[in-house]
Amino acid sequence: MTFTQDLAKQTADLWQQIYDMPFNRDMALGTLRRDVFQGYIVQDAHYLEGFARALSLAAAKAPSADVLAQLAGSATGAIHVERELHAHYMGLFGVSDSAFAAIQPSAACDHYLSFLLRSAALGDFPEAVAALLPCFWIYREVGRDIAKHSQPSNPYAAWIDTYSGEAFDESVSRMLALTDRLGAEADGPTKTRMERAFRRACWHEWRFWDSAYHMEDWAQPPAAQGAPAYQSGPPVSVP
């Protein structure tokens, strides 16, 4: 069993939940609400810019010029997807550049990016790669799964074609090969860090879609929603 096969086995239950979640099932049927997908696309555009930055940070730690070129190329590819795919849908939805700039990353998006940027900046190279892998791998597998159930008239066909297509498949295969190589070379503590980073990133993938489906943003404390202002009282002893 390869290292990435073991990672997939460790996270199989979460992957199945991602396949079965309403966002992806509705997208496969073409019934995903337009406003839900619009909110998702805006957040995904924010995400992919941060993802490209995390890839660039990881690339700076690459052990060879070939690996550096691979990750730098993936960073460029992420920006390309953001410019092409998202521009297509934002044009359809009438989301102007100024309107997009006015929409801040959601809590789920911000949380995921913070994790990736921290892993890439502060973690070692194998840990950073393991944290970045799920965005490649899960999107490919979800894209393929949706493509099996989708019809050509699906309004989200451009998204489905992007992530189930050959060009994306090639980049995912290269990332899997790199992770397998790093996992095979890793000592025990490094392998543990890689596994933990991978599992956490898989959770963030689930959380990003779940948050988009429920159109969640930043939760506000009750006072910000019209509740009475907080009144300070006597000190409370903490046991």
Residues 6+ apart with CB under 8 A from 146: 24, 27, 28, 160, 164
103: left (phi over 0), alpha (psi -120 to 50) or beta: beta
SS3 22: helix
Q: Which one of 84, 195, 205, 216 is the catalytic residue?
A: 205
CA separation for the pair 196, 183 (Å, rounded): 13
Q: Respond yes or no: is residue 170 known to be catalytic.
A: no
The rounded distance, in Å, linking the Cα atoms of 35 and 115 is: 27
Is the distance from CB of 138 to CB of 202 less than 8 angstroms? yes
- Contact in structure between 13 and 44 (CB atoms under 8 Å): no
Which phi and psi angles does 105 have, rounded to 5°?
A: -55, 140
Q: Which of 55, 87, 84 is nearest to 68 (CA)?
A: 55
Residue type, 28: A
Which two structure tokens, joined as six digits, stand for 123? 């973690």
Which amino acid, one-letter code, is at 33? R
Gap between the Cα atoms of 40 and 156, Å rounded: 12
Q: Would you name the residues annotated as active-site residues?
A: 205
